[in-house]
Amino acid sequence: MKKYLLLFIIAVFAMSCSKKVEVKGKITGGSPLERIEFIEASGVATLPLINMGVNKDGTFAGSFEAPKSGMYVMSYGGKQNLIYLKGGQKLEISGNGMTFPSEYVITGDAKNNNDFFTATQKYLTNYAQTVNMNELLMKDEKTFLKGIEKVQADVNKNIEENVKKFNPDDEIVKWKKNDLASTLLTILNQYDMSHKQMGNPSFKVTKAFTDFENKLQENKEVMVKENPYYRQYLLAKMSPDFQKYAQANSAGKTDITTSELFSEYLKKNQKDLSQTAKDYLLAFVMAQSDIHPGSPEKTTEKIKKIIDTDIKDAGIKEDLKKIQFAINGFKIGEQAPEAALVKADGKSYNLSDNKGKPYLLTFYASWNPYIGEATIPVLKEIVNFYKSKMNFVFVNVDDTKEQFTKTSNSLLKGINGVNVYADGGLNSDIAKKYGVYGFKLPCFVIVDKDGKIASKPFFNLGDPELVTVLDKQTGLSAPKVNPNVQLQQPGMMEVDPAAAQQQAPAQANPQSAQTK
């Protein structure tokens, strides 16, 4: 009996510790060309945890590891919304293709929490229309604070009413209250800033104002971890001071990055700020200002050093490295990793088969809008020009081998090269090794004759740098092409968890002092 009891306890413990979220659903009128993604909203990594296809009948299904319980961004068709998830949950989501995910219905384990969240969000939307915030910001401080306290009381009353109605978990109730506090703090900062900008730079708020501000931040260590909007408030608060610091310390330094300046600023001018807050704020600035496809290798190496030395939180450090690799790829000269690939006839294929000749590795999928008319004609020209001196490998990351067969026969017919399938699509071995995500498609990487990485990942075949690398690897000299022949890919940083809650004020970005 004890043996079976022990097994039961172990099973229950394993279930309670599971991070896997199983999700399925149906989008009425959904398009097979659209994808559903989930992204952790509270972390610094805006990399999708899953990218699911929508079937012809609008159904979808998948599972992913949720790093922690909390808010997640759900995106579809260029739109985003927040959803509260916990590890170990099974849920079903439904909606209409015209409004999803702005509007959705959820059943299963996550129903109570998300019904609570939806109800409070709906109340906020309606309540905001009853408050003339611009007028309130122009009032004297006493009247302004009284108005903000009323807003806080009204919203908190609604939160408590919805707690009784939906019986949500304590965690999401606390998150909602902290989210409210973050919003109110942002409004307080707007009041302070606007009055200083109205011809009175020496304007100072009273002790009553700062006391209320401090009271809203009683849970600041939790808020900085869970609420992106609170981080943006902190950045907005220190933005004027950082602007002065950046101007004073960047003179004559043409190659200094925003991340370097901000890291120095935090060390010298924000000594009272917790290390946790510093890590999250620095990570935000790095991701927004210096980790992007156009970053030169020198900048990439600088950012790696800052991540290693100045970020102390292991989780944030790991997430930043994932982002940087996804955007900037391998270091030039690294060995190109081998991966499991298969041809249309079912035979396996090895990238190392190309050794002795450079090759262009192309990642693509049928559902990606950038692979069609804009890309294929240019790809044909490149293949025809360089095919005598290099190989071409087209890696399909569709969801099924059947779709790969249809896509490759349709899109790549008549183009010289090897067509292969990555079993598992974006969850495949090669996609993980090369950091391939939906936002990166199509993606092009050049490998030299010795099997070593010869370029960063390119997202535009018209990029002059790509042509330069191809010329160098083949010894040929291609005619110049228009760098705008292909639509640019949407950058990863367009996936903004905070924006799914509410828009941040413009001054929330200290990187606006960027000097590069």
**What are the tokens at 41?**
């909203």
pLDDT at 481: 55
Reported confidence tier of residue 17, pLDDT bands at 50, 70, 90: low
Dihedral angle, C-alpha 355, 356, 358, 363, nearest 10 °: -20
pLDDT at 331: 93
pLDDT at 189: 96
| Interval 366-424: pLDDT, tens | 999 888 777 899 999 999 999 999 999 999 999 999 999 999 999 999 999 999 999 99
In the predicted model, is pLDDT for residue 500 greater than 50?
A: no
In the predicted model, is pLDDT for residue 151 greater than 90?
A: yes
Lowest-pLDDT choice from 86-95, 126-135, 314-323, 502-511: 502-511
pLDDT, mean of residues 271-295: 93
Written as one string, the DSSP assignment of 340-383 is -EEETTS-EE-GGGGTTS-EEEEEE-TT-TTSSTTTHHHHHHHH
Written as one string, the DSSP assignment of 99-159 is TTTTS-EEEETTHHHHHHHHHHHHHHHHHHTT--HHHHHTS-HHHHHHHHHHHHHHHHHHH
How many C-beta atoms surround the C-beta of residue 210 within 10 A? 13
Reported confidence tier of residue 89, pLDDT bands at 50, 70, 90: very high
| Interval 417-452: pLDDT, tens | 999 999 999 999 999 999 999 999 999 999 999 999
pLDDT at 251: 86
Dihedral angle, C-alpha 297, 302, 303, 306, nearest 10 °: 160
pLDDT at 200: 74
In the predicted model, is pLDDT for residue 6 greater than 70?
A: no
pLDDT at 12: 40
Give me the percent of the chain exceeding a pLDDT of 70: 89
- Reduced to 3 DSSP states, what percent helix, strand and coil does the chain have, rounded to the nearest 5? 45, 15, 35
User: What's the whole-number average pLDDT of the chain?
Assistant: 89
In the predicted model, is pLDDT for residue 346 greater than 50?
A: yes
Helices 141-166 and 170-196, packing angle to 10 deg: 160
pLDDT, mean of residues 258-269: 97
In the predicted model, is pLDDT for residue 99 greater than 60?
A: yes
pLDDT, mean of residues 139-158: 97
In the predicted model, is pLDDT for residue 290 greater than 90?
A: yes
Reported confidence tier of residue 9, pLDDT bands at 50, 70, 90: very low
Reported confidence tier of residue 484, pLDDT bands at 50, 70, 90: low
Strand (E) or helix (H) holding 90: strand 90-96
